[in-house]
Structure 1
């Protein structure tokens, strides 16, 4: 199916008034991105800062408006490049990174929206803070003048059967609910970013309101 058909099929399954759909554009061309934007996508997600830097001006020059989400691991030495372009950074996972984002955003006169990435399944291969460190880090972020914490993100373990990761999503939703209950100052806890192509429907059933879909929209990545 075409990109437009893939998007239409996904939109049939998702209540877009309750769930934000982010098209993950890693290793996909700007022409594919433009087709997605013309087919109703409003937010694109990049894994790498360098790829976002390359694509952003091309999309802008084509006259297409999009929210830019940085969803991949962000190194502190890339913050200076990421903050001017990113509407939402999903992958804050350390005090050092949060403070660097605050510093760069302050110089730009910007308040950077971020999500706190949690390694909910405690996988060595994944970034994110441990569950027990999430709320203390959220508290620290809430004290930064130029960063606004807007929710949580996780990457669930991959499984051919998405039902096997339902408990992971449920645990993440419980943490999100706890964060909401605390009501930290200077935050806007809105987004629970979890669920990708193979498991987004289970993630939504367990409380996700932001899903990140690449292959389901664009097909397999071109390496």
Structure 2
């Protein structure tokens, strides 16, 4: 399959699942996870009409994206990986959305850099939904305080983000994130990847982060 065919297949699946959930396909944003992918692979998806891309590492994104963005300024770039505070300057300059805000110190660093250059990417509060020590994300009990701090900041709050534990049924974790979003009056839900995005859409995902299914047959 070509890049365009893979993309269309995913879009068709998103539309089908959204309809089953009583939602519109347009309510679910497809983010192509382009980490580790070459510029040629990315350009094929851009040519197919893809406009939202996700990167995990700031340094890799800096090496790949400035040239691509210069050619097509309509691209929206999402930071979906764990972010260190010392990368806040580069992150604010490059990304349109940051999905991994998981602590107050990072929020403060992003706000400080945003104020310096008057550029304000949107942000998602990342939740450690499976309470895994090795993963980023704020503890479930601290979601409310971080959401409140985010709302009080100069950066727009887009929603909540989470990555369920590997090897277990993801639906309960998606449902929990959706419950937390309702409790804190947050609309956006960044959840679901190549292997579980259908369950995520059924449970309210507004952004799905798809890598393997878009880049590999």
TM-score, length of structure 1 as denominator length: 0.89
SS of residue paired to 1:125: coil
Structure 1 partner of 2:197: 200
Quick check: 1:45–1:68 contact (8 Å CA) kept in 2? yes
Where in structure 2 are there 5+ consecutive unaligned residues? 16-24
Q: Where in structure 1 do 4 or more consecutive aligned residues deviate above 2 Å?
A: 60-65
Question: Is the CA contact (8 Å cut-off) linking 1:70 and 1:90 kept in structure 2?
Answer: yes
Question: What per-residue deviation string (whole Å, max 9, x for no partner) do you get for residues 104-127 of structure 1?
Answer: 000011223100000111012210
> If each structure's helix is expressed as a fraction of its own residues, which one has the higher value?
2
TM-superposed CA distance for 1:212, in Å, is 0.1
RMSD: 1.5
CA contact 2:31–2:53 (8 Å) conserved in 1 = yes
2:211 corresponds, among 214, 217, 220, to: 214
The answer to whether the aligner puts 1:105 opposite 2:102 as a matched pair is no
Q: CA deviation at 1:64?
A: 5.7
1:37 touches 1:64 (CA, 8 Å); kept in 2?
Answer: no
The aligned residue for residue 56 of structure 2 is 47
Counterpart in the other structure of 1:25:
34
Write out aligned runs for 1:26-105 (5 A).
26-63=35-72, 65-105=74-114
Provide the rounded CA distance (Å) in 1 between the counterparts of 2:43 and 2:192: 23
Q: How many residues align?
A: 208
CA distance in structure 1 between the aligned counterparts of 2:216 and 2:166, rounded to whole angstroms: 17
Q: Distance in 2 between matches of 1:54 and 1:11?
A: 28
Kept after mapping to 2: 8 A contact 1:19/1:210: yes
Distance 1:85 1:3 in 2: 25
Structure 2 match to 1:184: none
**Contact in 1 for aligned 2:28/2:208 (Cα 8 Å):** yes
Alpha-carbon deviation of 1:65?
2.6
CA 1:111–1:60: 2 relative to 1, 3 Å: closer
Distance in 2, Cα, partners of 1:76 & 1:69: 17
Q: Deviations over 1:52-102 (max 9, x none)?
A: 111122212433631000000010011111101110000000000000000
TM-score of the superposed pair, with normalisation by structure 2: 0.91
CA distance in 2, matches of 1:56, 1:190: 29
Q: Which residue of the other structure, out of 176, 183, 205, is the alignment partner of 2:181?
A: 176
Contact 2:181/2:187 (CA < 8 Å) preserved in 1?
no
- How far apart, in 1, do the equivalents of 2:121 and 2:51 lie? 19
Aligned 8 A contact 1:20 1:209 in 2: yes
